Amino acid sequence: MYSQMSIGECPECGDELYVFRTKSRKKVVKCVNDDCPKQLAYGVPKSGKMEVTGLK
C-alpha cells in the first residue's frame, strides 16, 4: 500500500502531482495524467532539492 499525497501541479500539463514512496524509501513525484506529454517522475531526496528523472 502506497501513501499518496498531492503536492502541486505538473509543470507540463497542469494536472496534479502525487508523491509515491518506493520500496527503497525514495520519494517519487509523478503526474496523475496518463496523457501527460512527458510522464516525468521527480525524485525527492532528503535534502529537499527536486531532481528530474525520466521513467519508462
Residues that bind Zn ion (CB under 5 A): 10, 12-13, 15, 31, 33, 36
**In whole angstroms, how close is the CB of 52 to Zn ion at the nearest point?**
12
Place of cell 524509501: 25
**In whole angstroms, how close is the CB of 3 to Zn ion at the nearest point?**
20
Radius of gyration over alpha carbons of the chain, in Å?
11
Cβ closest to Zn ion, residue 8 vs residue 45? 8
Alpha helix (H) residue ranges in 1-56: none
Cβ closest to Zn ion, residue 35 vs residue 47? 35
Place of cell 495524467: 33
